[in-house]
Structure 1
């Protein structure tokens, strides 16, 4: 018997139990806390999946469901594709969040290069099975720009502007866009998770899946937020966060999923340091930046430390989690990488 679950981002839980016999789905049973009308539609969904080839992707399974649903059927809090994703996770033997003993790390301020290195080290430790899945909340000891693994340094950063404002520039191991951070204005966290947690999900689906807990945390603070493909968290007022990922294929495999959230923003300084999207240092450029990013400070009215405390409490309420620290061995390896790879001109300028 295979069991799979999929929590729809901002929606309901879909649970699927099934068997695979002769490379086909058998005995499919779909359940969950979703809403569905009419009642007979559930039998139609189960029937549509019965006998489907076990290697059918989520979209193909959704098409079978859509074709079988009675006219006027209403699926609320989930979709036919969400059922398909739950089936794929069942077939793939995906793990669930509560299968693990989570660790939560929130230590004092550290330099940008060390944060880059800690992400790499902790993700490899999770892949090797030496560390449980971990949520790490960062604290910054200085302003920084973090560019994506494949971004051009000269295209993204005004180096004279960065030097003028005392901004350290580093390159991370994940893709995506540049992040401008200041110690009191930014909330950054990493999830280092086993590959098994996102098994059966596409790359895009894994972003939404790993961000769902923070949507609930923001909702509890009065912010209606949603996942905006591919890697943003948005509200009616604007973007509040951006995510990036890196996959590690060593050991059992692991995923690094890290998110930078805007608690406050100095848009004038940002457009002097970042090149992309800037119209020099004009009022129009600053206004555009302020409109695109809507800080959590304005939306919540809460101190930054309290926002972080509530986020951690929300995560712990859903999945558990014991307080932890970076081990001496992990820190030593990260310090070595920070002083070498992540502080080297070769790494920073690998895409000039």
Structure 2
């Protein structure tokens, strides 16, 4: 059996392995990484040989680390990367090429419906009722979407929100507030089975799941990079951020919002925290815009979304898809019974 894992920003690790009586045998680690001294590769293979097939990434990585002398240097890979490759070889973890992804193009819906669809589709992916899914958001009205653990009163100015007729909805993932008016951001959700991020911490899974969009940004002329914990930045500064939620049933929701053309003056009237974050960024002048994606690419928002979808499809196996009537009905039910209720929105006052 063979498993491979490409370290985000690093090298490829491959493991060939057999299984005998419930334990690893004939383990052979290879790849385009660097390792000094050479003899350390034999130590890694020996450390993995005999490990139980049910050993998790942490156990496998600990075995590798414990077998290496202090003078050993791993360059371009880690002990955890070796563990992930082993788990993939055993079929316990999956890679991008093991899946066919649904791509749902941007479809105009009320933004609260998109918040609810994150939960609906994540449940379906976890249950195996829908394949891993990349879907783009489009919406017809303004909304502030706050993170699952944010305080409404700390984040939102009620007078500003009322003045601009902007409602507030709490999403199921953590992270910061999203100031959403039609056409002002580029937002997508990626829902994958937990097996795709097997062995990755929350921190590392952000970089892993963002790697494709870093490449997609390069294709439209933006030299972007990942900034821990969850930001995406270009040479000119931050352009977007990600949020995540893991479902114990077996799915990971990862969504990203990038600023396309935001009315900063209005945002600062609505978001309290926005004032503090933007206070040193020259946003006090009238009609100030936050427009990194528009100004850095010169492309329309629709063109960027189309380019992102095409870039994802070139990297991975995909098929075109859409929401089902049942999914939209379930999302509307969740809006009515959960996301539009004060009990949910103000659960953290």
Structure 2 unaligned regions, length at least 5: none
SS in 2 for 1:188: strand
SS in 2 for 1:211: helix
Other-structure match for 1:262:
259
| The 10-residue stretch of structure 1 (48-57 or 206-215) with the greater mean CA deviation from structure 2 | 48-57
- Distance in 1 of aligned mates of 2:19 and 2:83: 15
- Distance in 1 of aligned mates of 2:190 and 2:197: 12
Residue 313 of structure 1: how far off its partner (Å): 0.7
1:298 paired with 2:274, answer no
Residue 61 of structure 1: how far off its partner (Å): 5.5
| The 10-residue stretch of structure 1 (254-263 or 223-232) with the greater mean CA deviation from structure 2 | 223-232
SS in 2 for 1:132: coil
Other-structure match for 1:140:
139
Structure 1 unaligned regions, length at least 5: none
* 1:50 aligns with one of 34, 46, 53: 46
* 1:321 aligns with one of 284, 308, 318: 318
Q: Where do 1:277-296 residues align within 5 Å?
A: 277-279=274-276, 286=283, 295-296=292-293
Q: Is the 8 A contact 1:4 1:94 kept in 2?
A: no
Q: Where do 1:1-352 residues align within 5 Å?
A: 1=1, 3-19=2-18, 25-32=24-31, 34-36=32-34, 41=38, 44-52=40-48, 53=51, 54-55=55-56, 57=58, 60=62, 63-64=65-66, 67=69, 75=75, 77-79=76-78, 81-87=80-86, 89-90=88-89, 93-250=92-249, 253-279=250-276, 286=283, 295-352=292-349
Residue 334 of structure 1: how far off its partner (Å): 0.9
Residue 152 of structure 1: how far off its partner (Å): 0.6
RMSD: 3.1
Q: Is the 8 A contact 2:57 2:84 kept in 1?
A: no
Change (3 A) 1:56 1:20: farther
Q: Is the 8 A contact 1:44 1:68 kept in 2?
A: no
Change (3 A) 1:68 1:342: same
Residue 81 of structure 1: how far off its partner (Å): 4.8
Q: Is the 8 A contact 1:248 1:255 kept in 2?
A: yes
Residue 270 of structure 1: how far off its partner (Å): 1.6
TM-score, structure 1 normalization:
0.85
Change (3 A) 1:325 1:12: same
Q: Is the 8 A contact 1:121 1:333 kept in 2?
A: yes
- Distance in 2 of aligned mates of 1:46 and 1:306: 50
